[in-house]
Amino acid sequence: MPVIVFDFDGTIADTLDAIVTIANRLAPEFGFTPVSQREVESYRNLNAREVIRRSRIPLVKIPFLIRRVQAELNREIQHLNPIIGVMSVLTTLRQRGHRLGIVTSNSSVNVTTFLKKQGLESMFDFIHSGATLFGKSRIMKQLLAREGLTPGEIIYVGDETRDIDAAQAVKITMISVAWGFNTAETLARHHPDFLIHHPYELLELLDHNRPRFP
């Protein structure tokens, strides 16, 4: 039975609006222009590097901006909601006996705070934090080593093109979700193994592909 590893922001937790609001509030301090809702929608068609170029955030300031956004988000994370339908899917996966984990570029403190607030903390066997804005392949390799897993034992579920890139780099099956940051069309261009549009489709996908996911 495969271990199912989830991205956090946009896949489990609905954090996009809060992150955009915080980033816009910090824009004058970090030297970039606040973005409108229309611009956010256009960014959903871009990968992480393209978003940075379009926003004109000075590269040297990005690590500091990320830390500030995460710190500000910590004050709001307990008031945010999970993606609709995700909680019941997680419950079903646990009932079926799947090990579940999280890989995220958000802080482990934020993730744990959110999970506790939603009563989801016991659902997950591990949380690996530390992925960069530009990629997750290194942390995925670390996950395999630390958890004693092979690529064939994992399914990764995420909402961004960099999730696909990381899964492909370490040869992990990738299920992209269209309810998060990147649009379905953008995700499809990066060729995930599967693309779903609603959380319940994850259960259907696992049921229909049991020979592939023993």
Residue 64: pLDDT over 80: yes
pLDDT of residue 51: 84
Per residue in 139-193, pLDDT (tens digit) is: 899 999 999 999 999 999 999 999 999 999 999 999 999 999 999 999 999 999 9
Selection from 97, 184, 123 nearest residue 114 by Cα: 123
- What is the Cα 158 distance to its own chain's centre? 5
Selection from 136, 140, 183 nearest residue 159 by Cα: 183
Mean pLDDT of the chain: 92
Residue 195 backbone phi and psi in degrees, to 5 = -135, 125
CA angle 47–8–107, rounded 5-degree value: 95
Q: What's the pLDDT band for 196 if we cut at 50, 70, 90?
A: very high
User: Which residues lie below 8 Å from residue 82, measured CB to CB, with a gap of 6+?
Assistant: 12, 13, 14, 118, 120
Active site residues: 7
Per residue in 70-79, pLDDT (tens digit) is: 999 999 998 9
Q: What's the pLDDT band for 12 if we cut at 50, 70, 90?
A: very high
Per residue in 86-95, pLDDT (tens digit) is: 999 999 999 9
pLDDT of residue 24: 93
Burial class from Cβ neighbours inside 10 Å (0-12, 13-18, 19+) for residue 87 reads: middle
Per residue in 16-43, pLDDT (tens digit) is: 999 999 999 999 998 888 989 899 999 9
Residue 85: pLDDT over 80: yes
pLDDT of residue 79: 93
